[in-house]
Amino acid sequence: MGNSELMQLRNLGLRSCNWLEEVGISTIEGLRDAGSVNAFCRVRNAGFHPSLNLLYALEGALQDCHWTDLSEDCRSTLLQAAEDRKQDAA
């Protein structure tokens, strides 16, 4: 595993890329199509235990910036969307 295409994105390491591949996201286009919140939720729902840093890393990868450069508003919006999805699944 460790798709080289996903490894080209900022913020994503081997573990993150392996998790994404395990949930059916193996290309940059696939990640774009899924979006950061959906991709994060798919990883979480598959039984992995990602920290919120994965959520922010995915968004940073899509925006081509380091995840720490995401605004506090952006991070709050991502967190709320992921929490809403978690409650919808319950």
Q: What are the domain boundaries of the chain?
A: 4-89
Q: Tens digits of per-residue pLDDT, 35-47?
A: 999 999 999 999 9
What architecture is domain 4-89?
A: Orthogonal Bundle (1.10)
Q: Tens digits of per-residue pLDDT, 4-33?
A: 799 999 999 999 999 999 999 999 999 999
Question: Has residue 1 got a pLDDT over 80?
Answer: no
User: Residues 22, 63: contact at Cβ < 8 Å?
Assistant: no
Cα first-last separation, the chain: 31
Quote the pTM value: 0.92
